[in-house]
Chain A
Amino acid sequence: MLRLPKFEVEKPTTVDETVALLSEKTGDVMIIAGGTDLMPNMKHELFTPKKLVSLAGVSALFGIREEAGALVIGAMTPLDQVANHPLVAERAPALAQAAGLVAGPQLRRMGTLGGNVMLDTRCQWYNQTYFWRKSLGFCLKKDGSACHVIEGGSKCVAAASNDTAPALMSLDAKLTFANADGQRELLLDDLWKSDGIFNKKVPPSDLLTEIRLPQREVKHLGAYGKLRDRGSIDFPLFGVAVRIDIDANDVVVDAEAVSVALQARPTRIRKFGESLVGTTLGSPEFEKGVQAAASLGHKQCRPMPNVPGDHEYRHAMVPVYLKRTILAAAAGAGPVHAV
């Protein structure tokens, strides 16, 4: 078997207990939610914590609810619930679609939304066994000193590969973190930093408790597009979430697109809305706007050979998926996916 390194498991039942355990000795303690990212990574000896703090018994972290107009999702809510919950489908279609395209059915059952947000970045030179990485001579992100994606590069560009992150960002999600000093709220956009080694500004000892999607003033449409080789299981080779705000006459009043699986952090496509705002869905102006938005994406998104597959092809797919995802959102359809 592919053995796990030795560790001990703690099973707190409250947030306070959890936070106390996490503050014990940073670095040697890690959070385990569904474990679907952490377990394979630990089997690859990418992490070797002495202690795992399980969130499975912390009931306060589960569930989907409405709170003062906002949609609040507990960090431990399994992805299949996020994907199938009527409130999510109605209020955040891109999120429902993205959650429904994560991995395969069993993993969506086990994996959590919080774990997906906090997912480690991925790279073909990194998500490998210890033997493989040792034969390579390791890399910057773990145990080594060189990067194999950008030769001579001094910065890790492993890719943020969480499908739900762009959908959540497109909906201006806010995260609540807890640590020994208390709680704080953070805009998801502000979580990230462009460092593939650890792409979050919040230390790993902070507990994500819930994800809040603020009430939206205007009606919106949304969709998620995901490029991958197979119809199931695979991580994204490129992902994009689109949000289009419309008024009562189907005129676009705002729009956002967020991409993932390109670089260390999910990124907003800048000035994306400008091409679409003011056009009426389905009109020739809208169609033209879609083309313009797609080329904008093509210019801004520059895939690197970090995740497997041909990065030039991934680049070529940016405008195609962007266009299709906008059109799917406009049609109230989606997700955009090969199968």
Chain B
Amino acid sequence: MSARDNHGTAPPWGDEFQVIGKRHRKVDGLAKATGQAVYTDDIALPGMLHAKTLRSPHAHARILSIDTTRAEALPGVHAVITGASMPIKYGVIPWTPDENALATDRVRFIGDEVAAVAAVDEDTANAAIELIDVEYEPLYSYTDPNESLERHDPAIHEGNKHGNVSKHVELEFGDVEGALDGADVVVENDFFFHGSTHTAIEPHCAVAQWSQDTSAEGLLTVWSSTQISHYVHRALARVLELPETRIRVIQPNLGGAFGGKSDPFSLEFCVAKLSMLTGRPVKMLWTREEIFYAHRGRHPMHMHYRSGATSDGKLVGSDAKILIDGGSYSSFGLVTTYYSGQLLTGPVDIPNYRFNSTRVFTNKPPCGPKRGHGSVQPRFAFEIQLDELACALDIDPIDFRRKNWQGEHTKTVNGQRITSNGFMTCLDEAERESQWKERRGKLADGRGLGVAGSMYISGTNYPIYPNDMPQAGIQIKVDRSGLVTIFTGGNDIGQGSNSVVAYLVAEELGVEVADVRVVAADTDLCPVDLGAYSSRVTFMVGNAAIDAARKLRKQVVESVAKHWEIAEAGIRMGGGVVLDLADAERTMGVREAFQLAEADHDTLGSTGSYNTPELGGDYRGGTIGASPAYSFTAHVAEVTVDRETGRITCDEVWVAHDCGRALNPMLVAGQMEGSVYMGVAEALLEEHDVNRFGLHSGPSLLDYRIPTTLDTPKINSLIVESVDPEGPYGAKEAGEGPLHSVIPAISNAVYDAVGIRLRHLPFTPAKVLRALAELESDQTVEQS
């Protein structure tokens, strides 16, 4: 589907959906439940070698020499590679290619990849790594982003025009100074959002097999735990200097991603190169520690916000200055820098808005996209300011948001088109279910309720590399057996995208979900999809799936109508059966219908695609953050603060999320729950940082504390369906939006509970105790 044809939101057959909107098993659920599902590290190929990476022990250093002779001489070692083996730089954003598969001349953080070895087994590969002699010249290293802003010598990336600044964006919409001058209340504060990382439970892994075929280059197959096969495919071709036709990328079952498997990673290039050099399959499985170095997690942001409102409760403007700690490489940083400002302009209307965001390099593991990429941090600051304004004006914070709601089918101040917008219903639901009115302000001391809201994109019309081709494609094969096979380049990372396309196609073709098979994320077999990021899959791949299925449906209906000699409108399909609406006695199975169509139209198959309409503001960067539809969320959090220990317990969260339409409410709820869990963890427990030596402060699942069952609040998922005019049957996204506002909601709830404003994450008990002590001394001063 292109922007030009829209398939509408109505059920394809009659008044009611038959598959959509109901609870269904996932297409791969039982394969996962029984242990049959194959993940990358489950692959074992005959003669497979095992590879390991040598990493930099320095935070910043020049590589003077690398000597691999001792490693190569070790029995069992088959190949050793260094940066010289793959000197071409790459980067997920084509404008900022600053990464090498292995360091060529310089290392930029402790853990940066320097060399790789393939050997008969892991023990031998590990032993060989220790035999590689590298001479380094340590350089001054940066851990404080403020320093990177000021100091440019040494530059972390030599030749970067802006010293250690990775990206700077400054945009103003309206007249912020004028608006704030005219405000009755202005709040102004510093905020800090810390770093956190994804920790998908599956470690990154890649397997490569180079085989001979009729071409001179041979054929390279790479199985990888990636969430974006397409970019891995492109990056491999670039770095290995192979035509894309010589490379096949397959994503097996994926054990979680959350943005952490979006970039092309060193291990994919290394196994490919090592396989090509040795002529044997090669596997590399990173240890948990190595994944903390690979990182690409949430960017720490130092934020300064100033927002104002008039006494009647109207927000007049907001002004943001943001310093973004990017770590050592660009990754998605260009987009992050834009997102840090561009995605704030709803659901609350900001009539005048300005942001000034600067991303700098530091000698730390590189940051990238984590669930709610670039927009969770500013949302945190802004939603606390809304709470402060509401308090200052003595307006209920939910009402304050209602008063300032932007409306639906409108445009944001920065020129983004808003279609459906269910935020008001989200507020209503969260308010009602949490018994906000009855309970807020009336809870026992130490307990409180807080609210916050947010919006997020459902895909973006910025396709990372400029092109006019579809953003998502689908092929469908319909067989005389009655089986429907869908081929999709979409990456199912656990969110259930394979199931979603199966539901959509089953609905369109009137077949049972069980009779739909999905072949996914194999670049040889499936049409291109841009991958699982920016919450784009349901919206874009879903639309492409409807597009393809509708074409087939037309052929099938045509043939049945001809056979029965009735009008096409008199036919209904569903649950594997074709009905004549005028004659209840007359039915046939879809298998027979498919056979009629195959006889009429030849072998049945169709393609479908999706591309975004023209979107975005008319200024440089105006398309970054422009989405065909936005999801909306409201959170109410209930907390208990232990005044003696400073410990915050998040007891319960009500999350109301406008996902457009819940294609399978069970999967939507799962995404909402997972998002809330992850947000609460960021607020209260997790912190990804380096210590005074530039070393990761605890690269393990023991020291990086992700919540257990006992640390997760009760989560109430309230699904709101605004039915978006352009989404697949009206669907938008549910995987990232529901994370955002739970973090400020917790901060706001703590204020309600004990009167302290927490603006620096994470909310450790020590910080809470300090803030409580400050509050007490302030009050004593006031009283005296």
Contacts and interface: CB of A to CB of B under 8 A. Distances in A.
Contacts of B696: 132
Contact of A230 (B285, B289, B710): B710
A229 B764 CA distance: 9
Contacts of B765: 313
A233 B769 CA distance: 25
A128 B711 CA distance: 25
A135 interface: yes
- By CB atoms of chain B within 10 A, which of A3, A129, A135 has the most? A135
B123 A229 contact: no
Given A132-B695, A232-B708, A338 B645 contact: yes
Nearest to B55: A131
Given A3-B122, A230-B707, A230-B711, A136 B702 contact: no
Contacts of B649: 338
Nearest to A231: B710
B769 A313 contact: yes
A327 B425 CA distance: 47
B644 interface: yes
Nearest to B125: A3
A316 B769 contact: yes
A2 B645 contact: no
Contacts of A233: 702, 708
Contacts of A232: 708-711
B705 A234 contact: yes
Interface in A283-315: 308, 310, 312-313
B684 to A, nearest CB: 9
Interface in B720-736: none
Interface in B103-147: 110, 122-123, 126
A6 B710 contact: no
> B interface, by DSSP: helix, strand, loop or mixed?
loop
A146 to B, nearest CB: 12
A317 interface: yes
B711 A231 contact: yes
A310 B764 contact: yes
A135 B702 contact: no
B695 A136 contact: yes
Nearest to B645: A320
A124 B57 contact: no
B30 interface: no
Give the interface size class of chain A.
20 to 34
Contacts of B289: 2, 129, 131-132
B50 to A, nearest CB: 9
Given A233-B708, A313-B765, A339-B711, A1 B285 contact: yes
A22 to B, nearest CB: 27
A104 B708 contact: yes
B525 interface: no
Interface residues of B, number: 35
B566 interface: no
Nearest to A40: B702
Contacts of B707: 230
A234 B699 CA distance: 15
B647 interface: yes
A320 B642 CA distance: 11
Interface string A221-232: 000000001111
B766 interface: yes
Nearest to B766: A313
A39 to B, nearest CB: 13
A134 interface: yes
B766 A312 contact: yes
B699 A132 contact: yes
B446 interface: no
A233 B57 CA distance: 29
B209 to A, nearest CB: 21
A317 B645 contact: yes
Contact of B57 (A134, A310, A320, A338): A134
B212 interface: no
B351 to A, nearest CB: 42
B122 A230 contact: no
B57 A231 contact: no
Given A134-B57, A231-B708, A308-B703, A3 B123 contact: yes
B685 interface: yes
Contacts of A316: 766, 769
B415 interface: no
Contacts of A2: 287-289
Contacts of B564: none
Contact of B703 (A124, A136, A320): A124
A235 B705 CA distance: 12
Interface string B643-674: 01111010000000000000000000000000
B698 interface: yes
A136 B711 CA distance: 32
A115 to B, nearest CB: 17
Interface string B283-324: 001011100000000000000000000000000000000000
Interface in A28-55: none
B95 interface: no
Interface in A69-117: 104
Interface in A228-286: 229-235
Nearest to A320: B644
A167 to B, nearest CB: 21
Interface in B687-745: 693, 695-699, 702-703, 705, 707-711
B211 to A, nearest CB: 27
Contacts of A128: 699
Contact of A1 (B287, B647, B709, B764): B287
Interface string B391-427: 0000000000000000000000000000000000000
Interface in A113-129: 124, 128-129
A231 B712 CA distance: 10
Nearest to B699: A132
Contacts of A339: 710-711
A230 B699 contact: no
A1 B708 CA distance: 23
A4 to B, nearest CB: 9
Contacts of A310: 764, 766
A310 to B, nearest CB: 5
Nearest to A104: B708
A135 B695 contact: yes
Interface in B586-607: none
A320 B647 CA distance: 12
23 contacts: A2-B287, A3-B123, A124-B703, A128-B699, A129-B287, A131-B55, A132-B696, A135-B57, A135-B110, A136-B693, A229-B705, A231-B710, A232-B711, A233-B702, A233-B708, A234-B705, A235-B702, A308-B698, A310-B766, A316-B766, A316-B769, A338-B645, A338-B649
Given A124-B697, A313-B766, A339-B711, 12 more contacts: A104-B708, A129-B287, A131-B55, A132-B696, A132-B699, A230-B707, A230-B708, A231-B709, A231-B711, A234-B705, A320-B644, A320-B645
The list of the 7 closest CB pairs from A to B, nearest first, reads A231-B710, A135-B57, A313-B766, A232-B708, A339-B710, A310-B766, A229-B705
Interface of B: 55, 57-58, 110, 122-123, 126, 285, 287-289, 644-647, 649, 685, 693, 695-699, 702-703, 705, 707-711, 764-766, 769
